[in-house]
Structure 1
Amino acid sequence: MHKTLIVIPARYGSTRLPGKPLIKIAGREMLLRVADIASDVCQHQAQCEYVVATDDERIVQLCEQNQVPCVMTSEHCSSGTERCYDVLQQLADKPDFIVNLQGDNPLCPPWFISSLIESWRASDVGEVFTPYVELTWQELDKLREVKKSTPFSGTTVQINKAQLALTFSKNIIPAIRKEANMRAASELSPVKRHIGLYGYTAKALEAYFSLPESTYESCEGLEQMRFLENEMAVKMVPVSYQGRTGMSGVDSPEDIERAEAIIASDGEYKLTP
């Protein structure tokens, strides 16, 4: 059985929310909520473990007090991906698959993570695994409105018939020439929104840091383009929020309020027993 390690990068410093991992959401520290998600997944997946990766003793202390596995990484790590790589370098018994679960994502549905792990185990093709959702026309209209004020929020992806990514963009792709006809034919638009959650084979994660920053990665500000531009297969995994309210990372006081409102409305995100 191949081994999976869920790495939770947790950086104390944040420009907008200093000490972000320790901020409480609905009475529980954000980082502990993310650790709960990882623990839930590990209880349902064979040969699966998780660990918090940080560079701050205050986060280490929180983890130790709550029996959460933790490892210290370099303070020079510039991204969650780099922190995952740092963890990989420290391990003598290396995992086969690494999931990068950001420490500021306390409402990541655990079934998204399980879907990545199960897709990797079942796939003959794919070095990077990442989820997406298909947008309804109503959701696409909402995304278009959001991009009028924040054009670089939200990433879309085009996918081939083998479920491999063709390209990612901060623009909404594809362009739709006969939109009225397509709206009449289906409730779903052809636009797929990428969810920023990644699973890598150990080989792919090692390769990422041996390659220079790529052209479209630099243009778009999307690190996954480095894999595509170097002809590494990025397998797209379809997921659904299952009727719950979707939310990505927490970056502001407003996000904290929104997260608490979602928890109050939807309850905790747990896999079914």
Structure 2
Amino acid sequence: MHTAILIPARYQSKRYPGKPLAELTGAHGTAKSLIRRSWERARAVAGVDHVVVATDDDRIAEHCAGFGAVVAMTPADCANGTERCAAAAGSLDTAPEVVVNFQGDAPLTPAHVVETLLQAMRDDPGIAVATPVVRCDATMLAAFEGTRRQGGIGETSAVFDRQGRALYFSKEILPTRRADAAELATPVFQHMGIYAYRTDALTRYGDWPVGRLEAHEGLEQLRFLENGHRVQCCAVDLRGQPVHELNNPDDKPRIEAVLRDHGID
């Protein structure tokens, strides 16, 4: 199964302009950019033929070329990472069967999470899109609830059927617990923003208009559901590995602490 990992990276972020070039200091004092650390993580995934940074910015492209990354230039008007992956996939010399959208702001993503998605697609040719979900423990759920109480938008919940096929994704906590059912264990799963697409599904994505639910929630994967495409949710165990995203400068110390604790330079 010919596979390419694409890492979307844009310079103009509302919350954190220039984020891909932000430096993170490792366990032994080595500073590396966010995009480089994400690229190194992506290269650790087994069974992948290509790892490519997809960007529309010359500064990011030049920086990535400096540490040996392959870069695909994409249009500036890509609305999200999936559209950027679709644009980049079309420029590759060899068309992949499967494209992985690897988040450029999640440099702690464990390789086995992506490998789980790829294995699911090998096992079931009917899966057009696969994405990982993690069952919330008490700490994760409390953090999710705290974000919503404060009016913030961060985590995403996923609801799926018994076969793992997605029913919905939301920035709200789903399913909702009734007040008289608080003692029941609620199967809240947090979505990780990584996707594996078959190339034909990814190509069609760029041809569809932005969906009503997608626009409301701000979640790109809903465009697949609104157009009747199966999205397979793959439950993963993080195996005790903390996974934090760099969304704003305040997140840097938390990620650097994980790099120190795990001896990652």
Q: TM-score, normalised by structure 2?
A: 0.90
Deviations 1:84-122 (A, max 9, x none): 111122235210111111222212222211111111111
Q: 1:221 to 1:95 in 2, by over 3 A?
A: same
- The equivalent of 2:206 in structure 1 is 209
SS at match of 2:104: coil
Matched to 1:256, the amino acid is K
| Aligned equivalent of 1:254 | 250
Bigger drift between 126-135 and 217-226 goes to 217-226
From 194, 199, 204, the equivalent of 2:196 is: 199
| Map of 2:154 onto structure 1 | 153
Taking the aligned partners of 2:263 and 2:112, their CA distance within structure 1 comes to 15
Distance in 2 of aligned mates of 1:219 and 1:52: 29
Aligned to 2:28: none
How do 1:166-245 residues align onto structure 2 when only pairs under 5 Å count?
166-177=167-178, 178-183=180-185, 189-245=186-242
Partners of 2:22 and 2:106 in 1: CA distance: 12
The answer to whether the 8 Å contact 1:21/1:31 transfers is yes
Q: Give the residue type in structure 1 aligned to 2:67.
A: N
**In 2: Cα distance, 1:252 partner to 1:152 partner:** 13
Which residue of structure 2 aligns with residue 268 of structure 1? Answer: 264
How far does the alpha carbon of each residue in 1:105-157 deviate from its partner, in whole angstroms, 9 at most, with x for none? 21222221111111111123321110000112443233112211144321111
1:10 corresponds in structure 2 to 9
- Checking the alignment, whether the CA contact within 8 Å between 2:80 and 2:220 is kept in structure 1 is no
CA distance in 2, matches of 1:151, 1:112: 27
The equivalences for 1:2-41 within 5 A come to 2-26=1-25, 27-41=31-45
1:62 match: 63
Q: In the alignment, does 2:145 pair up with 1:144? A: yes
CA contact (8 A) 1:52 1:71 kept: yes
RMSD: 1.9
| Larger mean Cα displacement after TM superposition, 209-218 or 136-145 | 136-145
| Residue 34 of structure 1, CA deviation | 0.8
Matched residues in 1 for 2:182 and 2:150: separation? Answer: 25
Contact 1:151–1:170 (8 Å) recurs in 2: no
Per-residue deviation, 1:264: 1.3
Q: Distance in 1 between matches of 2:223 and 2:17?
A: 30
Contact 2:110 2:241 in 1 (8 A): no
Q: Residue in 1 aligned with 2:131?
A: 130
CA contact 1:244–1:266 (8 Å) conserved in 2: no
- Structure 1 residue 162 and structure 2 residue 163: aligned? yes
Amino acid corresponding to residue 104 of structure 2 in structure 1: G
Cα deviation code 1:223-247 (max 9, x no counterpart)? 2111112211100011122112231
Give the counterpart letter for 1:179 in structure 2.
A
SS at match of 1:98: strand
Structure 2 counterpart of 1:85: 86
- 1:210 Cα offset (Å): 1.8
Q: 1:12 to 1:215 in 2, by over 3 A?
A: closer
Distance 1:120 1:106, change over 3 A: same
Query: Unpaired runs of 5+ in structure 2?
Result: 26-30
Matched with 1:186 is none
CA distance in 2, matches of 1:138, 1:105: 20
3-state SS of paired residue (2:108): coil
Change (3 A) 1:6 1:146: same
Task: Flag structure 1 segments of 5+ consecutive residues without an equivalent.
Answer: 184-188
Paired AA for residue 99 in structure 1: V
